[in-house]
Amino acid sequence: MDVVAACRAFVAVSGHGSFTSGAAAAGIPQSVASRRVAALEEHFGARLFDRSSRAVRLTSFGQDMLPSARRLVDLADAMRDDAERARLRPLRVAVPEICPPRRLADLVVAARRQGIHLEVRPAGPSERQRLCRTLEVGAGIVAVPEATAAWRVPLGLAARTPFPAPTVFLETLRSGRARTQARRRILIQPEDDVAHLRDPLTRVGQAAGLAPAQVTVAPSLVDAAAAALGSPDLLLCSRQQAEEFDLHWRPLAGPRLLRGYDVATGTREDLDQLSTVLYADIAHCLGASAGDPRPAEGSPPGSPSTGDPT
């Protein structure tokens, strides 16, 4: 017996003094209301209604049981409302602030089609880690080294003028002997100001003879792109970003640099939703190729990532 449904019929009939009216108020046929009340009476071993007269009246036992039945019905309604709110509660996700707004909007739409209510919060690498650590978001797309990444984005250099070769050799950026010759800088945007990208590029640049100031971190992506658009400086970026700024893009001859991203999350359900159900949609936001999703090497499925944001 469904005790809640039976109590709902009991409360409705008692409130209207009629099986017909009570059943209509409960949205069930009169015969169903009668069966449910009868089942409840059998369950408790006593009659709830006096049916000897034309009007339906509560027995003394029914009067004693009615408050409990009302509380049970009210609690069931409250649980249903709580479940609906919980189901519609958004999953707050920290995402790279370089993701184009239109692509993030497409991600939110794709998630809703899957019954997932996303609320994206764009932030830089270290801020995304902090938001995950302090539980201000339910999950984050965090920066990790290529070897442990679920998504990978190749990086190269972008400039306002075409490159003479299919790849860029850092040796060609060395300044000449003439003091008046400007040194072309490589500008690292904040999204790539992480150890596994910044440090290898700095080391190889020094080995190629670049001055320390030729590899520098820009205050923002806008500042870095403005410098690349208005000077000979080069922007370290993805091909997607170069196209957005109408810059010419080429990969580096060395080192091979890739942004790596993985999901940092507190629950297995959120991990499955982001890294499996929405894998291709997140790849589109990041400008990554949508290959087969896989867990990070050396980590059990569902374990949070621990990328170094510094």
Residue pLDDT, tens place only, 147-166: 999 999 999 999 999 999 99
CB atoms within 10 A of CB 236: 25
pTM (2 decimals)?
A: 0.69
For residue 248, pLDDT beyond 60:
yes
Amino acid 115: pLDDT: 87
Encode 115-154 in three state secondary structure. CCCEEEEEECHHHHHHHHHCCCCCEEEEECCHHHCCEEEE
Query: What is d(CA 137, CA 139) in angstroms, rounded to the nearest whole number?
Result: 6
Nearest to residue 153, comparing CAs of 249, 260, 276, 281?
A: 260
Tell me the pLDDT tens digit for each residue of 201-229: 999 999 999 999 999 999 999 999 999 99
Q: For residues 73 and 8, is the Cβ–Cβ distance under 8 A?
A: yes
If you average pLDDT over residues 180-186, what whole number do you get?
A: 77
Q: How would residue 290 be classed by pLDDT, with cut points 50, 70 and 90?
A: low
Contact call for residues 173 and 214 (beta carbons, < 8 A): yes
φ/ψ of 259, rounded to 5, equals -70, 135
What local confidence, expressed as pLDDT, does residue 300 receive?
38
pLDDT, one tens digit per residue, over 19-34 is 999 999 999 999 999 9
Predicted pLDDT of residue 305: 41
Q: How far apart are CA 145 and CA 152, in angstroms?
A: 9
Q: What percent of the chain has pLDDT over 90?
A: 76
Would you say how long the chain is, in residues?
Answer: 310
